[in-house]
Amino acid sequence: MPTLKDGLYALYLRKSRADYEKEQWGEYETLAKHEQELVALAKREGYPLDKPYYKELVSGERIAERHEFQRLMDKVSRGEYAGILVHEVSRLGRGNPMEYGWILYLLERTRTLIITPTKVYDPRNPDDARALQMEMFISNMELGNIRSRLVSGCRASAMNGCFIKPTPPYGYDRARINGMWTLVPNDDAPTVKMIFTRAAAGVPLGTIARDMNNSGLRTPSGGFWTAARLGAIIANPHYKGWIRYGYYRRDYMPDGFGIKVKYFTDNDCIYVKGLHEPIVSEELWQAANDRNLGSPPVKRSKELKNPLAGLLFCKKCGKAMIRFINTCKSNGNKIEHYRHAPFCDCKARGANMHLVVSLLADALESVAQECETKVILDDDASASKSELEAVERKLAQEAVRLEKLMELYFADAITIDEFKERRSKSEELSDQLRHRREELSREKPSPKELAVTIREAIRLLKDEGVSAEAKNAALKSFVERIEYENLTVSMKHPDIRLHVVLRG
Ligand SMILES: [Zn+2]
């Protein structure tokens, strides 16, 4: 027996897969039993236990899924525990070799004892270390067996037409009939049938979804129906009485000790006639799934259509104003329009895109004029030039002064304290001067140059032949953002105000 270490001991409890299986057969409260047993052991042998105990309530094997274990190992790595009490070594870890390698390394480095009801392991003792490693290695192989048994059991049931997934498709409930899990249609089944019938008749899914939402129907989770959700229902073969198992797969990609999950579909899955009653006939299912044949969906163009993309924002709420196309009900004309995205809380009024763009051209025109008059009124450029010269002179003076200070110090004319004080003052001043020099010498377009740029942008905005993308690029070269406000009261007198914020 290794010698007992002074210090605090941790108690770690975790259910294994086997415990879950046992509990299904009526043997309950595995964790409570383990806890009693280990607390009694600690009392008997005199291990002071840290509280609260580490109780893992999830069954995951990976460290990334076991938060209590992460908390425990964090403290272990800081050497806070003399040992860990655990029901058996495999409760600590039997994930992959990399994970239990890491556990063993930390235990050894901090010399944390592992105490089970049958044995005390000292990871610094080579025999014990080997025993620990074997326990974890063997339980890892057992885990592999359990896993493959479970998977092959599930596949066998699916092959027999059982529905073994935890969540039934919309319109069905799960039920166990003669010991086999299957599906039975519920009150939503007529809705499913309606979706298939309308889709097969060529009604767009978006229209079906809108009608369902308008008549108060909601998804099982209480959300709105969308074309995408209806598309998933129509593509689901369970509704025509088939079972598809293993179609959606997950792949776990290691990411340090964490995991990234990747989803993909697998056409090499189980696809058999199910035990359950179909909600729609094979013919109707097929007709609904063929609904788009012959009219391939129009691919949306990626071309930029909004000259003010990324620039136009609502003054009230700060959110973007987005370009939409409205169809005029009386003559079918398409009108480009700016407004908020649907379901936005802000009720800012939208406006015709061409009106906003022409107002912007006017606003830019007055900015350009302002820039030009500024040049005539005062001469900013020469003022900043003379300041820059003054700053340079001052900087040179400070450099000379600092040099003199050093000479004085080396000639013992001033004390070290005096030297330090005067030097820090001088350095502070030099820093300020350098900062100002940087500000002054930063290249700014003169107002006159800016006016030329603005006028060029106005010309592009007014030219119908210029692409929205080119207009957008021209604006973004000098405009930071445009604040939009619509104060229109009467439609006859639109009152739209734009506030242009320039860059720099
Ligand atoms: Zn708004």
- When pLDDT is averaged across residues 61-70 and rounded to a whole number, the result is 85
Q: Mind listing the pLDDT tens digit for each residue in 306-323?
A: 999 989 999 998 888 989
Could you tell me if 418 and 466 lie in one domain? no
> Among the listed ranges 2-16, 235-249, 266-280, which one has the minimum average pLDDT value?
2-16
Q: What is the DSSP letter of 135?
A: H
Distance 314 CA to ligand 1 centre (A): 5
User: What is the distance in A from the centroid of ligand 1 to the CA of 315?
Assistant: 7
Distance 317 CA to ligand 1 centre (A): 4
Banded pLDDT at 299 (limits 50, 70, 90): very low
Please, are residues 31 and 13 in contact by the beta-carbon 8 Å criterion? yes
The answer to whether residue 35 sits within a structural domain is: yes
The answer to which of 36-40, 259-263, 423-427 has the lowest mean pLDDT is 259-263
Residue 178 lies in a domain: yes
What distance in angstroms lies between residue 326's CA and the mean position of ligand 1's atoms?
A: 19
Q: Measuring CA to CA, which residue among 319, 318, 317, 312 is closest to residue 351?
A: 312
Instruction: Check whether residue 214 and residue 256 sit in a common domain.
Output: yes
pLDDT category at 297 given cuts 50, 70, 90 is very low
pLDDT at 193: 94
Out of 273, 289, 305, a domain closes at: 289
CA of residue 56 to ligand 1 center, whole Å: 47
> Is residue 191 assigned to a domain?
yes
Question: Of 289, 324, 343, which marks where a domain is finished?
Answer: 289
Average pLDDT over residues 477-503: 89
Q: Are residues 471 and 490 in the same domain?
A: yes
The pLDDT of residue 46 is above 80: yes
Q: What distance in angstroms lies between residue 188's CA and the mean position of ligand 1's atoms?
A: 39
Cα 475 to middle of ligand 1, angstroms: 22
- Interval between CA 357 and ligand 1 midpoint (Å): 18
Taking the centre of ligand 1 as the mean of its atom positions, its distance from the CA of residue 343, in whole angstroms, is 12
How far apart, in whole angstroms, are the C-alpha atoms of residue 188 and residue 354? 48
Q: How far is the CA of 349 from the centre of ligand 1 (A)?
A: 8
End position of a domain, from candidates 156, 187, 221 = 156
Q: How close is the Cα of 124 to the center of ligand 1, in Å?
A: 66
Q: Which range has the worst mean pLDDT, 68-72, 131-135, 188-192? A: 131-135
Report the separation in Å between the CA atom of 479 and the middle of ligand 1, taken as the mean of its atom positions.
Answer: 20
Same domain, 214 and 345: no
Question: Is the pLDDT assigned to residue 377 strictly greater than 50?
Answer: no
From the list 202, 264, 276, the residue with the least C-alpha distance to 234 is: 202
Ranking 38-42, 361-365, 402-406 by mean pLDDT, the lowest is: 402-406
- Residue 430's SS3 state is helix
One domain for residues 62 and 149: yes
CA 363–ligand 1 middle distance (angstroms): 21
pLDDT at 251 > cutoff 50: yes
pLDDT of residue 72: 94
Cα(353) to centroid of ligand 1, in Å? Answer: 16
Average pLDDT of the segment spanning 262-284? 86
pLDDT digits (tens, 9 = 90+) for 98-142: 888 889 899 999 999 999 988 899 999 988 988 888 888 777 677
Residue 3 lies in a domain: no
Mean pLDDT of the chain: 83
- Check pLDDT > 70 for residue 254: no
Distance between Cα 347 and ligand 1 center (Å):
6
Q: What is the pLDDT of residue 301?
A: 58
Rounded to the nearest whole angstrom, what is the distance from the C-alpha of residue 390 to the centroid of ligand 1? 48
Are both 454 and 489 inside the same structural domain?
yes
Residue 21 shares a structural domain with residue 39: yes
Do 243 and 133 lie in one domain? The reply is no
Distance 346 CA to ligand 1 centre (A): 5
CA of 323 to the centre of ligand 1 (A): 14
Instruction: For residue range 399-451, list pLDDT tens digits in order.
Output: 888 888 878 877 777 777 888 888 888 888 888 888 888 877 766 667 888 88
For residue 164, tell me if it sits in a domain.
Answer: no
Angstrom distance (rounded) from CA 373 to CA 438: 27
Q: State what percent of residues in the chain have pLDDT above 90.
A: 31
Taking residues 454-476, report their average pLDDT.
91
Q: Please indicate, yes or no, if residue 298 is contained in any of the structural domains.
A: no
Examine the domain organization and report whether 138 and 187 are in the same domain: no
Within a domain: 308: no
Q: How many Å lie between the centroid of ligand 1 and the Cα of residue 227?
A: 27
How far away, in angstroms, is 500 Cα from ligand 1 center?
Answer: 17
**Ligand 1 centre from 342 Cα, in Å?**
12
- pLDDT tens digit sequence for 323-349: 988 887 788 788 899 998 776 678 889
pLDDT of 262 above 60: yes
- 215-231 pLDDT, tens digit per residue, is 888 888 888 888 889 99
Are 229 and 176 part of one and the same domain?
A: yes
The alpha carbon of 481 and the centre of ligand 1 are apart by a number of angstroms equal to: 15
Ligand 1 centroid to Cα of residue 351, in Å, is 13
Residue 298, pLDDT above cutoff 50 = no
Q: 39-76 b/e with 16+ CB inside 10 Å = b?
A: eeebeeeebeebeebbebeeeebbbbebebbeebbebb
* Distance (Å) from CA 219 to ligand 1 centroid: 30
Distance 470 CA to ligand 1 centre (A): 27
Distance from the alpha carbon of residue 337 to the mean position of ligand 1, in angstroms: 15
Q: Does one domain contain both 176 and 251?
A: yes
Structure tokens at 66: 């076991």
- Separation of CA 226 and ligand 1 centre (Å): 25
- CA geometry: angle 254, 256, 257, nearest 5 deg: 85
How far are the Cα atoms of 369, 382, 479 from residue 375, in angstroms, in the given order?
A: 10, 11, 20
Do residues 104 and 136 lie in contact, with contact meaning Cβ atoms separated by under 8 Å? yes
**For residue 25, is pLDDT > 60?**
no
How many whole angstroms from 320 Cα to the centroid of ligand 1?
Answer: 8
Q: Flag whether 259 is in a domain.
A: yes
| Boundaries of domain holding 326 | 313-351
Q: What percent of the chain has pLDDT over 70?
A: 87
Closest CA to 239 of 170, 161, 181, 164: 170
CA of 318 to the centre of ligand 1 (A): 6
Three-class secondary structure assignment of 49-112: ECCCCEEECCCCCCHHHCHHHHHHHHHHHCCCCCEEEECCHHHCCCCCHHHHHHHHHHHHHHCC
Residue 442 has what pLDDT?
Answer: 67
Question: Which range, 69-83, 241-255, 299-313, is most confident?
Answer: 69-83
Greatest mean pLDDT among 21-25, 87-91, 440-444: 87-91
Joined tokens for residue 320 = 């973007």
Whether 292 has a pLDDT exceeding 70, the answer reads no
Q: How far is CA 251 from the centre of its chain?
A: 19
Is the same domain home to 324 and 367?
no
Dihedral sign for Cα atoms in the order 158, 163, 169, 170? positive
Q: How confident is the model at residue 380 (pLDDT cuts 50, 70, 90)?
A: low
How much is the average pLDDT of 142-170? Answer: 79
CA of 350 to the centre of ligand 1 (A): 9
Q: Tell me, in angstroms, the distance from the centre of ligand 1 to residue 313's CA.
A: 8
Total domains, the chain: 5
